[in-house]
Amino acid sequence: MHAPADDPAGAEAARKSIDKARGLLLDWDGCAATGNRPHEQAVTFIAKHRPRLAIVSNNSTQTPEDISGLLADAGVDFPSARIFLAGMEALTYAAGIPGVRSLVLANGRMKALGRAAGLQLVRGDADAVVLLRDTKFTYSKLERAVHSLARGARLIVANPDTTHPGQGGALVPETGALLAAITSCIDLQPENVQIIGKPSSFLFERACAALKVTPESALMIGDNPDTDIKGAHRLGMPSLLMAPGSRLTFSELLGEHAPAMRFARPRAARRVAF
């Protein structure tokens, strides 16, 4: 459902679909927040629907606790257990495969979190290559990843996005750009590649399980037709395309007379790598 801002009937239909949904899956980057700054009306929306809402994001440099902290700074307590981020999910997915030695291409902090989650980290000759948005990606890392994959290692990818929107509309290179470097070197069999982020079903299913709802009874709210909307559609989940993907805004979802939220603390941006 793509309701434009100047279409009151469309906005009304969007609000009805929210009322009807048993669970709400909300995208983060570009939709509820830009960079580390949550949008005010999105925060009000999260607070209003908190008991039946989960956040699903292709982010691969932050933790659920980071996002929960940003929301706490904005005045909303939101449980990290209902925040599903592609990077952390990729690490915990790989850690759940017994006996696998993993070459993790990620920031140092995410690598350390992977180790803490039980990953056996190696620098080469890996059984699995786990790819996140590694801002220190190098020729050597590319070489080691390709060598392991050529020997039959599986590839676990946080997300296929080539960019995401940053502050001031800047293009931020994403995990998919690094994936393109790898796949320009080697043809991979689809059965050897696991994509964790949207539009893959992985995050949608994790969120639905946490909310105890079926995909058909939930509603995906996001700004990206290629990830949020396409992924939801594949699972039979209704969806709302938000600005900037459409002209539909959180103000409209809240209704014309929604009270502005009072923030207990200033919404200062946290110093978290993004």
- Identity of the residue, 127 or 223, whose beta carbon is nearer to Mg ion in the bound complex: 223
- The residue at minimum Cβ distance from Mg ion is 30
Cβ at position 198, least distance to Mg ion in Å: 9
* Cβ atoms of 258 and 44 closer than 8 Å: yes
Using rule CB under 5 A, residue 29 touches Mg ion: yes
Cβ at position 222, least distance to Mg ion in Å: 5
* Cβ atoms of 200 and 218 closer than 8 Å: no
- Identity of the residue, 14 or 149, whose beta carbon is nearer to Mg ion in the bound complex: 14
- DSSP class of residue 274? -
Q: Which stretch binds Mg ion (CB under 5 A): 21-29, 38-46, 145-153, 199-207?
A: 21-29
Q: Which residue has 């940003």 as its token pair?
A: 70
Phi-psi region of 167 (alpha: psi -120 to 50; beta: other; left: phi over 0): beta
Among the listed residues 21, 27, 62, 238, the single contact to Mg ion using CB under 5 A: 27
Q: Which stretch binds Mg ion (CB under 5 A): 31-39, 177-185, 204-212, 261-269?
A: 31-39
Judged by CB under 5 A, the chain residues 51 through 80 that form the site for Mg ion are none
Distance (Å, rounded) from C-alpha 121 to C-alpha 124? 9
- Identity of the residue, 27 or 252, whose beta carbon is nearer to Mg ion in the bound complex: 27
Cβ at position 106, least distance to Mg ion in Å: 21
Using rule CB under 5 A, residue 30 touches Mg ion: yes
Give burial (CB, 10 Å; 0-12/13-18/19+) of 260: exposed
- Separation in Å, CA 16 to CA 12, 52, 153: 6, 15, 47
Among the listed residues 21, 24, 25, 31, the single contact to Mg ion using CB under 5 A: 31
What's the full length of the chain, in residues? Answer: 274
Using rule CB under 5 A, residue 32 touches Mg ion: no
In the stretch 213-232, what mask flags binding to Mg ion with x, by CB under 5 A?
Answer: ----------xx--------
- Establish whether the linkage from the previous residue to 199 is cis, with ω within 30° of 0: yes
Residue type, 171: L
- Identity of the residue, 145 or 240, whose beta carbon is nearer to Mg ion in the bound complex: 240
- DSSP class of residue 133? -
Residues at the interface with Mg ion (CB under 5 A): 27, 29-31, 223-224
